[in-house]
Chains A and B, each alone.
Chain A
């Protein structure tokens, strides 16, 4: 389809394709020339468009589109020769100015309602910045730009989604991020062929190597300060329009145990908290399994007095230890899911039902034992010390429980070995998943499960392969190898 030298014919070209009622065609005249402004009603700032286009054309007595392009004081005015491209631009929120020429002009008066910048609910901290990304990619980019003010900060835009035409921005620092990584990610993003991208998680699922893996292979964050710091380490970041979750890659397992607050508080406290996260995760995943396997297979592991206490509390319980624990964990997961979906008003009632009826009454009725409830509760709480890994660890906890109930302690050991081997074989964009422990990289240990003092972290993580190795102590603009 091509533009013609007739305004009505040009308008008809659009009406033939766009049959939606919220596409507005506003025809007006200036001197003796006829123009038409086409825009999408819900995403256009009509006041600005009226002021800067329609009124300006009429006041300045502009008669053709060439003069419009020269004389109108509108930023980002572009000439478009293709009707298809123009329709795409219109649907992306641009305003089209048609005349009796074989081209048209596109201007940007994009305006829409969006959520304000607020503290993200998934990463609350006591000390440190509280800004979080929202669904607007432009806002998100602005938040990052405020933190990285260097010409090396590159943003590459992509459009992904046949119908959604979602804008994706790949962000990186050209002087820090390895070129091979950037090229690899660009190739992967360019190869995505999908109808729509409702959230950044779709992008992460489409570009990872092992698509059926239980473990997360791309990092995510809702906070611009974390996002910028990761870019400065040598990673690349992906922002997706319509999603407040930004992606960072390559990703390593130790990142789940790191919080931005660790860098803002006392170092000793930060290390203590990291140790607590690690221990809590081990307890969360393994404790139910160990308890069941000890009861069924390994009585000798339990000290005698504790064993007698356990035996006394499980007297008369009709369920086998493994089924009892499975049932209790299932109830916990149901409560967990219901508390997220439940309207706020009935949340209180649900807590009472969960705690008193299911917990206390079940023990008194002799359906489950007290140690089981205690272990289930402890495991549930410990899981949320590292909220990033809740998804995979809650599944893993059930798997460990099933294996423990079937094969006992050695089954748990075998599964743990399998998981270690699997994680060791996992590479994300050339970076080993369990770095800096496997392979062992001593330099990177300064910020892993243990955190060194911030002034001592002079080098960027070696595993990310950046040529620009020094981040502290080098002279300005000096690239050090």
Chain B
């Protein structure tokens, strides 16, 4: 038996050594892997055009920064476009590191749910990737240079994922959340709306030098090689290379687009995004501007909100659905114009007038939001979902027209931090 066991072990060992040294199971080499960090989706004539932003590591003795390349491909479906990128470059697109998906506004004006559905069902991309809509072409957004980071999608991530620090300026969503909300009883969803702002700030060096896009079409197999990785090539072919310009791009994602029943329903302005965030998640950093009158003078105060306590409940009273919104905020004064020093100022205390003005402003904003929800038939307060969860007895009676019947009660309370 020992002799036989020895033979078996020797055979296993030889097999392992052969497979170890050859490593040839059609394994995809790390150097042939395209590490995609962001995807942009634009409308094409037939289907979609995918722009994949690929992080290209530099040899460490040449540069300490990473660069990127934009590869585009068109196809009828997302999967087809990604396969085209793979076929024509020879690189295997690795989507695990893709954290940002930017969709052009033209795409979401048509039926875009198959796109979201693909991203949700494939296990090549994480469901935690952030979704956003952009005003200009997604390819241009990804190709733009920014003073915030060498790679534009990293800059976008900084803005979009600041949400984690509990700021109120951006309404962030990911693939999972969006799709889940769309499938809920409320059937709504939202995405931040990215607008590019051109600035005169100098872009990061080397940025955009490789943001050369090669357009690969289904019919033509025209392969344009990537440019060499020189620092100031300025030779960006195609679109997006901005090294010749001194302008760089910043992003504003404070506006939000809302969807209902798989279609675009309405949009939030920056202040509405702020207000909605105050009602839906704990906030650490939010700034609001408030105008009020005191001692016959008009004053403008910038208020920072330290903490918020919120409750949005649905109650059915006498068959009428009532949305009860309670918001309590702890705030302090940041700045006031015209300024006049008072004893309270050293504690950043807001005056009673300011507090009352803030309360009424928030009251008004919340009421506007609820009215917007009713008018656009976009249930972003998840009233139907709350009806299902908390008032199941009334669900079948009210689910079809609850938004129309909805009444609301708002209670806002503002207090000073000290």
Contacts and interface: CB of A to CB of B under 8 A. Distances in A.
A315 B16 contact: no
Interface in A252-302: 295-297, 299-300
B35 interface: yes
B23 interface: yes
Classify chain A's interface size. Answer: 20 to 34
B21 interface: yes
A186 interface: no
A311 B31 contact: yes
Interface in A292-325: 295-297, 299-300, 304, 307-316, 320-323
Interface string B2-19: 100000000000001101
Contacts of B2: 212
B58 A312 contact: yes
Given A314-B30, A326-B20, A402-B17, A299 B96 contact: yes
A99 B230 CA distance: 102
Interface residues of B, number: 22
A405 B20 contact: yes
A299 B16 contact: no
Given A402-B17, A402-B20, A309 B57 contact: yes
Interface string B226-261: 000000000000000000000000000000000000
Contacts of B262: none
Given A296-B27, A322-B20, A312 B35 contact: no
Interface in B24-62: 27, 30-31, 33, 35, 37, 55, 57-60
A358 B20 CA distance: 23
Contacts of B89: none
A307 B21 CA distance: 23
B356 interface: no
A406 interface: yes
B19 A406 contact: yes
B263 interface: no
A313 B19 CA distance: 25
Given A304-B37, A307-B35, A322 B23 contact: yes
B21 A322 contact: yes
A373 interface: no
A403 interface: yes
Contact of B33 (A299, A312, A406): A299
A295 B30 CA distance: 7
A326 to B, nearest CB: 7
A300 B20 contact: no
Contacts of A296: 23, 27, 30
A234 B2 CA distance: 34
Contacts of B97: 300, 304, 307
Q: Which of A309, A310, A311, A323 has the most CB of B within 10 A?
A: A311
A304 B35 contact: yes
Contacts of A321: 30
Nearest to A404: B20
B59 A312 contact: yes
Given A299-B30, A299-B94, A308 B20 contact: no
B66 interface: yes
Nearest to B19: A406
A191 to B, nearest CB: 20
Contacts of A311: 30-31, 35, 57
Contact of A300 (B55, B59, B60, B96): B96
A308 B97 CA distance: 11
A38 B344 CA distance: 113
A422 to B, nearest CB: 13
B31 A315 contact: yes
A413 to B, nearest CB: 16
Interface string A358-394: 0000000000001000000000000000000000000
A216 B19 CA distance: 30
A326 B19 CA distance: 13
A433 B94 CA distance: 45
Nearest to A298: B96
A212 B97 CA distance: 46
User: Which residue, of B16, B20, B35, B58, has the highest number of chain A Cβ atoms within 10 A?
Assistant: B20
B4 to A, nearest CB: 13
Contact of A312 (B37, B60, B94, B96): B60
Nearest to A303: B97
Nearest to B23: A320
13 contacts: A296-B30, A300-B96, A308-B66, A309-B57, A311-B30, A311-B31, A311-B35, A314-B31, A315-B31, A315-B59, A320-B23, A402-B20, A403-B16
Interface of B: 2, 16-17, 19-21, 23, 27, 30-31, 33, 35, 37, 55, 57-60, 66, 94, 96-97
Q: A-B pairs with the 10 shortest C-beta distances?
A: A312-B57, A308-B57, A300-B96, A311-B57, A405-B20, A406-B19, A402-B20, A406-B20, A304-B97, A320-B23
Given A307-B57, A370-B60, 4 more contacts: A295-B30, A296-B27, A402-B17, A405-B23
